[in-house]
A and B are shown apart, each in its own frame.
Chain A
Amino acid sequence: DTEVTQTPKHLVMGMTNKKSLKCEQHMGHRAMYWYKQKAKKPPELMFVYSYEKLSINESVPSRFSPECPNSSLLNLHLHALQPEDSALYLCASSQEGQLPDEQYFGPGTRLTVT
């Protein structure tokens, strides 16, 4: 099973809402990632978890809060977002995160902030 799943597929939220994005993989990968992708741009790395510990935070605003409850799950908690945070949010996983292994991506959550 080489699949990364993400829920929901689409999310519309107001600036005062709190919501969460979920990501799951069952490939036994120990590194998981959150990326943000704006239209017609490449993905931008937000966070990396390696062995369930946060290893990289690319200076992401605190209104984005990642969580890795176990090695298969990755959440992104959203609070007080701005309209410019509207984007495709991609989750990815890779084997261990110490070497540049290929990353496997989910289909993304398309987020709209109103």
Chain B
Amino acid sequence: AQKVTQAQTEISVVEKEDVTLDCVYETRDTTYYLFWYKQPPSGELVFLIRRNSFDEQNEISGRYSWNFQKSTSSFNFTITASQVVDSAVYFCALSDQRNAGNMLTFGGGTRLMVKP
């Protein structure tokens, strides 16, 4: 069965620090998709990135970067020069061929608190 583990339940940093959120996944399939979502206090989940299992290139988008390593089944997320507005709960999620294409398995989430 597929599983997503976010071992860090809460992280607290001071503004401008870099922070990495860990995500480890388990799946038996060779084709799968990984996602990161942000959930600010307002409640809605905001899509950040989707990565398929055949694309191991790391990605950078502004202050955000993602490190996908199939060898360790990890898809970690780094925020550079964190800001107070980055405070939120971040969810890593997995979708694989074992599910219908539109079912996500979420990790437990990491609450990030960025202090001024």
Q: In the complex where A41-B108, A42-B91, A42-B108 touch, is A104 in contact with B47 (Cβ < 8 A)?
A: yes
Cα distance, A107 to B32, chains bound together (Å):
27
Binds B, one of A14-22, A60-68, A72-80, A90-98: A90-98
Which chain B residues lie closer than 8 Å to A103 at the CB level? 45, 47, 102, 104
B101 touches A42 (CB 8 A): no
Which chain B residues lie closer than 8 Å to A42 at the CB level? 91, 106-109
* Residue B60 at the chain A interface, CB threshold 8 Å: no
**Nearest CB of chain A from residue B78's CB, rounded to whole Å:** 20
Q: Residue-by-residue, is A10-51 near B (CB-CB < 8 Å gives 1, otherwise 0)?
A: 000000000000000000000101000000111101001010
With beta carbons under 8 angstroms apart, the residue of A43, A102, A104, A107 that contacts B50 is A102
B47 touches A43 (CB 8 A): no
Which chain B residues lie closer than 8 Å to A104 at the CB level? 47
Cα distance, A108 to B44, chains bound together (Å):
6
Name B residues whose Cβ lies closer than 8 Å to a Cβ of A: 33, 35, 37, 42-47, 50, 91, 95, 100-104, 106-109
